[in-house]
Structures are given as C-alpha cells and as structure tokens.
Chain A
Amino acid sequence: MTDLLYDADEEALRGSVRDLLHAHAPWQRILAAIDGGDPYDAALWRRLVDQVGVTGLAVPVEHGGAGAGFREVAVVLEELGRAVAPVPFLGAVVATRALLGCGESTLLRQIAAGEREVALAVGLATAPDAAPGPVTVGPGPTLSGRVAGVADTAPHGLLLVPAGDGLYAVDAVEPAVRRTPVVSLDATRPLVDIEFTAAPARPVATGAVAATALTAALTAGAALLASEQVGVAQWCLDTTVDYVRQRRQFGRPVGSFQAVKHRLADLWVELTEARAVARHAADRLGVAGAEAALAAALAQAYCGPVAVRAAEVCVQLHGGLGFTWEHPAHLYLKRAKSTAIAFGTADRHRAALARLVDLPAPSFVEPVPDGGAGR
C-alpha cells in the first residue's frame, strides 16, 4: 500500500535542507539577485550538493548514489518550493531519471558526485505524453534545431537532447550550441532558448529505450513538481495566517473576520489533499508503469491549481502590501503560476487521466431530432 507519511529519515533530510535555506537563501537575497539580473545562486546549489548530497538521492548505490529514492527527493523539493530557491534541482532529477532509463552509469556517477550538471533539453512546459521535439539528427552524429524555454541548464553542463528516435548528449559549451536567456515569468527558475546548429552529439540511447526513458523522466518531473507546489502553497498559507493574525482593521485582527477565515480554511483543506496526492505521486514513482503515470497525472491535475490559488489568496489577503515588489508574495505567485504550466497544464493532465482511467471524451455524432425519448 502506498505510504503517504514522512519517515524519520525524510524528516531529518527536511530539517537539514530547511536549515541550509534559512541560513543562505532568505527571500531578501533572492529578490536582490533578481534585481541584479542573475537570480541563479551557484553558491547555494554547491552547498546543497556538497553538504546535503541532493544530486545523489535518486541515484542507486550501484551507480555511486545514496540510493534514497524519489520520496526523499520530493521532501527536498517541498523545502525548495517553500523557499522559492533558485537552484536547478528539479532539472537535475529529471535528467537523472532519463539516464537511469538509459543505464548511463558514468554520467549518473558524475551527477551523484556533483561533478557534472546535466539537463534534459526540452521545454519546461513539456507534458509526459507530448509529441517528439523539433531537433533533428544529421549529418552524422550532429543535432540541429531549436528548443524553447528550457529550465535548469548550466553554461558548462551537459544537455540530454531528445532528437529523432534517440536521446543524445551534447556539451553546452560547444560553439554549435547557442543558449539565449529568456526573461522568464518565474525569475527564480531561469529559462533559456537553445539553438543547435550541427552540434556534435553522442547517442545515449535509441528506439524504445530512449522513448521509455524520456517518458519516465517527464513523468517523474510532473510527479515531483507536485511536492514543490505543496511547499509553495504551505509557505503561502503559513505566511498569510501569520499576517492576518497581526494585521488589525476596524479594531480587530482581520483574521477574525469570517470571510477571511473561510478562505484560509478552504485553502488548508486543499493543501491537506494536495500533500496526500503529492506523497502518493512520489511513492508511485518507485513502482513505475501505469500506476506512476496515473499518480503523476493526478498530481498535476490537482496540485498545480492548489499552489496557484494559495499564492493568489496570499496576495489578496495581504492587501496592498501583497501587491508590492518589496513583499515576497509575488515571487511565490510567479513560481506557482509557472509550475502550473511546467510538465503540462492541469487540463492536459486531465486529458491524460481520461485515457488512463477510461473516461473517454464524447465522439462526435450527427445531431438527431430531439424529443425521441419519453414520448
């Protein structure tokens, strides 16, 4: 049976990540980095890799990792979401899942050791059931084409590119690879457009192995993103509750008004459910197959909208303050809204569920004269 709780190891991991983020990634620093034009925090990422070993969590022991699994990864993502931390962990995990599907031991070892940054070169909005990307193979082992809106790529890292019927490794420093930064809605998750012009590439996997690995990676992204969304929503709820307890109008705390209370109670209910859904999705990644796909689709059909509502309620109940640049609410709003598109929108995942649980859309039929029944 699916275990929806957190065990002692997971809580300990949460504690160390939270402490580290508390010390090194306060929102004021993140906001200042955005104003400075470079929000990506390489030093923070280094600490997470070296001190907590986050990149080794999903890598099995035989490939040099900690062999912890996706449930632990999900706990780290909750904390990163709670802090809107500008680090490329989600992308690293997605790439790790792809490489696990390809049996790429060397790269997995390098990722686990924190020696190599690998990103899957697909647009952040790509759903697990998306059509193949626009990159083509040839002449020879080279790639050409453009991929828009890729997250978590490092300037000196490795790109794992779906092209033709395979997955290819391309060095991001190659002159035939041009990375153009995008002004992204969520500045804490920088995006780039990537242009490949006959870029030298090494095939990592082809055929069914590559296709399965790619789907599994995107499924993992969708499933694990739900935990980040839970973290975002939890911060929004906690922060709003603290605020409305203190803020006074009409001679009483605004949190004593029923209109305010009931919105927050509804949000708490949704968050309670989102947490169960996200834990379920992370847990089911361990068993793969149709159950993992179903749990991931459910996770993005449910948790994305909850995170968005939480951030919107947070802005609203902070009143004028919540609408300002100086208050962190907008960082969470932008993170929440962009995660609701990442790895496919809720609508797209509902359509996936319709296939997975056999609730088919109506097929078009010729209209028949009304009134036949019941006469």
Chain B
Amino acid sequence: MSDHTADGLRGLVATFLRTHDPSGDRTGFLRARFDAGLAWVHHPPGRGGLGAPPHLQAVVDEAFAEAGAPDNRPRRNSIGLGMAAPTLLRHASDAQCRRWLRPLWTGEEVWCQLFSEPDAGSDLASLRTRAVPDGADWVVDGQKVWTSLAHRARWAILLARTDPAAPKHHGLTYFVCDMTAPGVRVRPLRQATGEAEFNEVFLTGVRIPDSHRVGAVGHGWQIARTTLMNERVAIGGRPLPREGGMVGVLARLWRERPDLRTGGLHEEVLHAWVRAEAARLAALRLRQLVAAGQPGPEGSAVKLSFAELSQRISGLEVELRGAEGLRHDEWTMRRPAEPDLLGRTATHRYLRARGNSIEGGTSEILRTIIAERVLGLPAEPRVDK
C-alpha cells in the first residue's frame, strides 16, 4: 500500500474522519488519531506514526485543521513534544514508548525538563544531582532550576549523576521522573517580567524505578545531546508567514502611528524588517532541508538569529512608543500557560526577550558550538576533560 504520498495521507485522514467525530470527545479523538498513526507520521507504526516521510506531517495537520478537528495544543506541552518525544523515540525501550508517547502527544500528560542546576548552566555536564541505586530503584537528591512547566508537568526528563568518580561527561544517566512522586517540590521562580514561567525543583529522596531509566547507565550525556539539539530547533524552527513574528507587531505600529515616526527609527525599522525576513527564509529553508531528509546544522543559526532579533525588535518597539514606552501593564506574579511574546505590552516583550539568548543554550555557547561542530575549528584548551 503506497499511502506515503500527500494524496495517500489525505485519504487516510478522510477515512479516519468518517469513523471519528471531530466535534466529539476531544481526548478520545486524539487518542484514536495517535493509534491510527496520524500523530507523528514519520514515527514507526505503534508509536503514533506510519513510517512516512516527515514533510507529510504538515499535510496531515492541515487536513485535520480543515475538518475543524481539535489539535493537541502543542504550545502547552512544548518540551514534551519538542524535546522529550524525539529523545524517547530514539533512545527509549518499546515498553517505555508504549507507556509515554501517546498521553504525551494527546496533551493528557505534560512534560518538563530537569537539566540545569544553580551551578550547572552552560556547563551542564558539571551537574551534581545524584542518583544512587537502591534495589530496583534509584534514589535522587538535588536541585534543578529554570524549569518551565514543572508546575503542570506529570513527567520530567531528568539528567542525574550516577558515577561521581567518572569524568564528568561519562558519569551521567538519563531518567524519566514522575513529578507527582514523594520528594519532588516545585517552587515558582519569578522572572524580570514579574511572571513565573519557570520553577526551581527540589528533589529529596525521590525514588525512580530502574524501568524509568532511558538508555544505559553512564550514557546520559549523549542522550541529552539529542534533547538539546531538538530544543534549539524547537525554539527557532516554527514556520511563519512574512511579518508573522514580532517584526509584524513593529511594522503594524509603524503603519498605524505616523506621529511616532522619525528618520533614525525608520532606518532601524527597515534594518530589522530585512533581518527578520532573512531569518524567516533561513528557517523556512531549514524546514525544507529537514523535510527533504537533509537535516543540517542550520537550526543553530535560526536559534541565534531569533534571539538577537526578538531583543532588537522589542527594544526598538519600546523606543518607538516614546512616552508610552514608559508604561507597563502590571507586575502581578502570573503563571502563564504558554509563553506569550505577542499578546502583552511592548515592555513585556522587551523584558521577556532577554531570556531568548539564555534559554536553550546561551548565544555565546551556541557560537562556540557552531565554530567547533559546524566549522570544525579546534576546541579551546580545557581543564575539565
């Protein structure tokens, strides 16, 4: 059966919709869609897919959207979908995939990422959270930080040290941690915006069954790299129409408010527009490369540019607003369900954008990664390897 064409997949969606009512029970519909292999079409059968080429996912998503079917609210489970799922698919056992992938995709179970620690940020491999074997379990103690969605998450991907004597990149193991387990405490971490998207997570004597270990003991770092590469693509890689991102907010403001225009800011707005459009096309080209089965290192470029642009454009918008740029909406601590860069005030965008060059790998680390892994330049002499 050659369903692995755009028409073939549209046919499968049409058949599916004949037996499943898109206006009926949301969760039931999404579960059935997963079981039919129409969740991630490039996944193998039984794991939400059909083994089809990845670019056909867009065809399937479009066909469901046209039918008014509910989606899985991807922005509410961005870490699960963007980072945990690709890592599990590549490194987890069959039993683990069966347990976790479906509720992850349907959004029934939200995921978070327990990687960074107060003393292990850019130097992630120096993390100190310990996992000690105890019978069929591991007992985990430590502190994690900068954890988005920890307060909503059912599961976490966790990186912990299992061999303190090994060189730092070799002593780590990758686990899935139940966020409802005893000993997991989540505390909101307020940001410069006044919001708390993030959390501190304290792990005290948390028991994780060995069956929730992903990959071999001591292989955590290699597996984490899969997650981190996907994180960088996930942050910058969504397809946007022209002016679809923050530059659209700036361009509309410029058009609607002739009273704010000055010659110098006109130049800056045009520069920002050009740069944003170039970055958008580069992101589009990256998607085309991935769809054609030639994924390249361009994801790092997309992430770097996105951070730089969102900072520059939001700063420009605050300045363009002049006296209005002095006013903020509120400093109340809120727990947003998803990051919102476009919905609130220019001042909020400006403040939130400062995080873009830190989260998911700082821009400095990314430049070093590009220089060493893409361009093949020699590593700096290091004292910790």
Contacts and interface: CB of A to CB of B under 8 A. Distances in A.
Interface of A: 2-5, 237, 241, 244-245, 252-253, 255-258, 260-262, 264-266, 268-269, 272-277, 279-280, 298, 301-302, 350-351, 353-354, 357-363, 373-374
Nearest to B367: A265
Given A261-B372, A302-B277, A353-B273, 19 more contacts: A2-B284, A4-B288, A5-B285, A256-B380, A261-B377, A264-B375, A265-B375, A268-B301, A269-B301, A274-B278, A277-B277, A280-B281, A301-B274, A302-B278, A350-B271, A351-B270, A353-B270, A360-B258, A362-B263
A273 B305 CA distance: 9
A106 B166 CA distance: 77
Given A5-B288, A245-B378, A362 B301 contact: no
B323 interface: yes
B interface: dominant SS: helix
A interface: dominant SS: helix
A357 B273 contact: yes
A32 B275 CA distance: 39
16 contacts: A4-B284, A4-B288, A5-B292, A253-B378, A256-B379, A260-B377, A261-B372, A262-B371, A268-B301, A273-B282, A274-B278, A298-B278, A301-B274, A353-B274, A354-B266, A361-B261
B281 A262 contact: no
A264 B377 CA distance: 10
Nearest to A262: B367
A359 B251 contact: yes
Given A245-B378, A264-B375, A361 B263 contact: yes
B120 interface: no
Given A244-B377, A269-B304, A272-B298, A354 B270 contact: yes
Contacts of A253: 377-378
Interface centre among B270, B281, B298, B378, by most chain A C-beta atoms within 10 angstroms, is B281
A363 B258 contact: yes
A249 B68 CA distance: 64
* 9 shortest interchain CB distances as A-B pairs: A261-B371, A362-B261, A265-B367, A4-B285, A276-B281, A265-B370, A276-B285, A255-B377, A273-B278
Given A4-B281, A276-B278, A373 B381 contact: no
A265 B367 CA distance: 5
A374 B323 contact: yes
Contacts of A361: 261, 263, 266
A273 B292 CA distance: 19
A260 B262 CA distance: 37
Contacts of B300: 269
B204 interface: no
Given A256-B380, A264-B375, A298-B278, A350 B285 contact: no
A213 B368 CA distance: 48
Nearest to B243: A357
A269 B298 CA distance: 8
B357 to A, nearest CB: 13
B269 interface: yes
Contacts of A277: 277-278, 281-282
B255 interface: yes
A261 B367 contact: yes
A372 to B, nearest CB: 10
A275 B285 contact: yes
B3 interface: no
A266 B273 CA distance: 19
A28 B214 CA distance: 56
Contacts of A5: 285, 288-289, 292
A172 to B, nearest CB: 38
B71 to A, nearest CB: 22
B381 A256 contact: yes
B279 interface: yes
B135 interface: no
B262 A241 contact: no
